[in-house]
Amino acid sequence: MAEIQLVENAKNSDIATWLCHRLDVALQSGEGPVAITVPGGSTPFPILEELVKSPLDWSRIVVWPGDDRVVPEDHAASNTGKIRALFEPVGSEVVTLSEMEEVPHFALVWLGMGSDGHIASLFPNTNPQTDDPQMVRRLTPDPLPPEAPFDRITLTLPALLDSDEILFVIRGDDKFAVFDAAARGENDLPVARLLRAASSQNVACFT
């Protein structure tokens, strides 16, 4: 089970500063590209907007969406389109998720979590496994969220666990209660399965 660094009542700017420092460490540790994965949704983008102002060598950072809705990238529901609009102007490569894509080792995996304990698009009904032979899967949430009734494409648990660090940003007491129960081993939701297997990664959670 992961040991989790908990930072409470963090401002967006605090999280952006933490991310900048961690990315700088990753860039300094080698000369090649640094792969990260970031989530969609309303919480991350104000933080990402702060982050891309940081004076990093963005040309070496390859950004993967952790998941996306199966829609064109110019669709309002596309995570990839929004991520691309932020990171490509500063020089980063942004990857379009595909089941054919070869997934790298990630320096940093940033995940959100739904109130049902899902991470990326690994919803409870998809029964994600840490020994999944695939690194990327196309899935159908059940029930389909009414605000985004689309199939999903997502990194799987093995892909997310092939990382140095895992970051969560959990806003709201109700969501944090689900996360905290998962961290204590009190449920078997997707987030709990990830945390149970994350023994070699640094795990941080900002609230």
pLDDT in tens, 174-200: 999 999 999 999 999 999 999 999 988
Q: Find the domain containing 26 and state its range.
A: 4-206
pLDDT at position 146 = 84
Q: pLDDT value at position 101? A: 87
pTM here? 0.95
User: Mean per-residue pLDDT for 159-180?
Assistant: 97
CATH of the domain at 101: 3.40.50.1360
DSSP 145-174: PTTS-S-EEEE-HHHHHSEEEEEEE--SHH
Predicted local confidence at residue 3, as pLDDT: 87
Query: Residue 54: pLDDT band by 50, 70, 90 thresholds?
Result: very high
pLDDT at 181: 97
Q: Does the pLDDT at position 116 exceed 90?
A: yes
Structurally, how many domains does the chain consist of? 1
Is 90 exceeded by the pLDDT of residue 36?
A: yes
CA pair distance 174, 105, nearest whole angstrom? 32
How does DSSP assign the chain, residue by residue? ---EEEE-S--HHHHHHHHHHHHHHHHHT-SS-EEEEE--STTHHHHHHHHTTS-S-GGGEEEEESEEESS-TTSTT-HHHHHHHHHGGGT-EEPPP-TTSPP--EEEEEE---TTS-BTTB-GGG---TT-S-SEEEE--SSPPTTS-S-EEEE-HHHHHSEEEEEEE--SHHHHHHHHHHHTT---SHHHHHHHH-SSSEEEEE-
pLDDT digits (tens, 9 = 90+) for 69-79: 999 999 999 99
For β-strands 152-155 and 67-69, DSSP reports them as antiparallel
Structure tokens at 91: 């020089």
The pLDDT of residue 81 is: 97
Residue type for 64, please?
W
Mean pLDDT of the chain: 96
* Average pLDDT rounded to a whole number, residues 16-33: 96
Under 8 Å between Cβ of 150 and 142: no
The confidence score (pLDDT) of residue 35 equals 98
Average pLDDT over residues 15-41: 96
pLDDT for the residue numbered 98:
96
Predicted pLDDT at 147 = 82
**Across-strand partners of 108?**
36, 165
Q: What is the pLDDT of residues 79-111, one digit of tens each?
A: 999 999 999 999 999 999 999 989 999 999 999
Which residue in the block uniquely carries the two structure tokens 């933490």?
18
